[in-house]
Chain A
């Protein structure tokens, strides 16, 4: 009953890194498009962020040959990795928009989705705080808006009620809006979980491969296009979905897509030590302005406290779109201090910045048959991308059925949940959980701040989306992410990765070729060198 030539049930997808020889195992290394089979893909998703991974997961439920390709060296490595990790209720969305519709759908679906894909979510609830008289007046309108978005449990709190719930809220707080449904999730595991299931269902994943251009097929009807990679490989595709986020504009130029403008909107964050976690109980949000939702203070799923983001519009192709600035960090601290008392006294462990994919033509811009038949552009997904990743994927699959004439046949053997595995994520602690397969290396800590053992690192290295960069490993295991920021564990961790994978320690990278941990071009000297 296969409708598409090469589709075969229960064959795992292939995962390749387009890296130079020696930087990863030969079995994981992409050497040419013949590794991916000769038949053109039914769909190629360009961009393995949370939107692309969510779409790959959704498409993997059907009998389709799908490829997920990204320029970066892990899934969810771009905008998807640097955000506030909020699962929004959509209480503040503009009613009637696609974003609002998708958020409402997502709100109902998330608990089940998170359980199936094992994505940690903590429903801590949020309180939007007003600190001026003018903001207090806006609360009623905000409540009305929330109710229009079907968030009927949202209600106004008095200053006293807030004080009771949040003893450390700033003394300037006049009142607030309680949003019980706001949750924090794990931004990294969402992309990874989607990609793992997609891979198990037969989606191929090609990382570290930039798409330089698109050769459009000229045949009438359903032409076969070719994606040309940075290093000259040609990947055949019947349909192309551009979910490349900040890279979507440049990619759209390659296939003659319609006009739109992307502005990276930089958001800088400050991450506080775990000892600061007890400062707040809910996610504390400021009243939004016309430009930005403002600096919020929120616990993270990992038990830290987070403040941010700023909102700085940068020109497209600004190489510094994800750099932090001293000025930006100062603004985050200022903004956070407006909501929470004593925030400046808390120890900071890290700062980071991400760039939202802000589209001047509006958020959630979707174009079918954009520039050529079978090409879809999806862009302008900003803060709500994590929340709507699954509802957007469903919406897109419906849309492609209608607009692209995509024929869908449910894959009866496809998984829709992550199977049990030795390493579902950072929260599995073999000795704490008392699992029977706890080994002695599960007790030898390598990351002391987060107490991550050598065994957990090895398990993570063997997980389906094989992490082969230090950053990828960090997002999965939390090693390097603690208060010492790798002071103690960077070198031992590199030794561990090198020992387990056989990659030379001098070849290991932070986030792909060009980010070697030591000065590049060195050959390994004998262990004892004379200096």
Chain B
């Protein structure tokens, strides 16, 4: 097995990983390797394709403009291309050795070990599963998916994941999913959450009002998905019922901290939150984290700048 040495290895080619690569390149640190498990860099925003009349769902704060995720990712990728970062696509980190800062990668050419002087974990986050929520049970039917699937079906294939969707969750992601569904011709979604009032702010809701005015039910206790093969309705423990042919589970991001967790670094359970020291350093020296892997929900722009700022800590460490 070959073993290549890099100054910094960045795990994840989303906005945060790109930010870290750009930030490090600005400080003259190199060589850098960026490891991305998908076939393209750009991360989650890449899924939000640009279409005439589509729902723009990413905000570029510097200019106060609302743009499509793909456009934003494109700009970030351009900045990345100006650096001399080595990019490994379709490559996944399968194992990490924290003390040696060694990573085992699996890519199209098989396994490979790389060693770095510092590692930035920018693996992003995913949406909480029904089982993780703990209050959503019932049948395991088809068409119980995440916002990621909405963008996948709609933007890549032009297919509606549900004609009468039920959106679980009420944050910005939930409203953007509802807007996208409505824009392609689904019925007005039902939106349910445990919270009494929607998590998205008034202005966020106002922005999406152009496309969607979901049928809101707050303060639900426990909910079961009913149906065989396909969902037919949701039923709450107090007898409320919502009809629908698909369930979209939105928001409540869970950080992808598995690599750190399996390698024995300090991670809180069951939240999977990384325990961070000064400068977004992890419990092992030379390991840093950036972007949504820190926990919580942040926009792509925030993640990019967070990546840039972690680059400062990394450069100081080196």
Question: CB within 8 A of B142: which of A329, A352, A453, A509?
Answer: A509
Chain B residues proximal to chain A, CB less than 8 Å: 37, 39, 51-55, 90-92, 94, 106-111, 126-127, 129-132, 134-135, 137-143, 145-146, 148-149, 152-154, 156-163, 180, 183-184, 186, 222, 224-226, 228-230, 237, 245-246, 258, 261-262, 269-270, 272
* Residues of the A chain whose Cβ atoms lie less than 8 Å from the Cβ of B157: 505-506, 518, 524-525, 527
Contact call B229/A512, Cβ cutoff below 8 A: yes
Contact call B261/A531, Cβ cutoff below 8 A: no
Task: Kindly report which residue of chain A lies nearest to residue B129, judged by CB atoms.
Answer: A485
* Residues of the B chain whose Cβ atoms lie less than 8 Å from the Cβ of A443: 90-91, 106-110
**Could you jot down 25 A-B contacts, CB within 8 Å?**
A324-B138, A325-B224, A347-B269, A347-B272, A350-B129, A443-B107, A445-B106, A451-B92, A487-B127, A490-B152, A491-B148, A510-B142, A514-B228, A515-B230, A517-B143, A519-B143, A519-B160, A526-B158, A528-B51, A529-B158, A531-B51, A531-B53, A531-B154, A531-B183, A531-B184
Is A322 an interface residue, CB under 8 A from the partner? yes
Min C-beta distance of A503 to chain B, whole Å: 14
Question: CB within 8 A of A347: which of B132, B158, B159?
Answer: B132
Min C-beta distance of B36 to chain A, whole Å: 11
* Residues of the B chain whose Cβ atoms lie less than 8 Å from the Cβ of A345: 269-270
Contact call A491/B132, Cβ cutoff below 8 A: no
Is A421 an interface residue, CB under 8 A from the partner? no
Determine which residue in B55, B126, B130, B142 has the highest number of CB atoms from chain A within 10 A of its CB, and name it.
Answer: B142
Is A149 an interface residue, CB under 8 A from the partner? no
Min C-beta distance of A230 to chain B, whole Å: 15
Min C-beta distance of A313 to chain B, whole Å: 19
Q: What total of chain A residues lie within 8 Å of the partner, measured CB to CB?
A: 70
Query: Could you tell me the dominant secondary structure of chain A's interface residues?
Result: loop
Task: Kindly report which residue of chain B lies nearest to residue A272, judged by CB atoms.
Answer: B270
Number of A-B contacts (CB under 8 A): 196
* Residues of the A chain whose Cβ atoms lie less than 8 Å from the Cβ of B158: 524-529, 531
Contact call A490/B145, Cβ cutoff below 8 A: yes
A529 and B155 alpha carbons, distance in the complex (Å): 8
Task: Kindly report which residue of chain A lies nearest to residue B269, judged by CB atoms.
Answer: A345
Is A420 an interface residue, CB under 8 A from the partner? no
A271 and B132 alpha carbons, distance in the complex (Å): 10
Is A35 an interface residue, CB under 8 A from the partner? no
Given contacts A347-B269, A348-B132, contact A448 B159 (CB under 8 A): no
Given contacts A270-B131, A351-B131, A531-B53, contact A320 B108 (CB under 8 A): no
Min C-beta distance of B108 to chain A, whole Å: 4
Given contacts A345-B270, A487-B148, A490-B152, contact A444 B51 (CB under 8 A): no
* Residues of the A chain whose Cβ atoms lie less than 8 Å from the Cβ of B55: 531
Contact call B106/A518, Cβ cutoff below 8 A: no
A513 and B229 alpha carbons, distance in the complex (Å): 8
A380 and B54 alpha carbons, distance in the complex (Å): 56
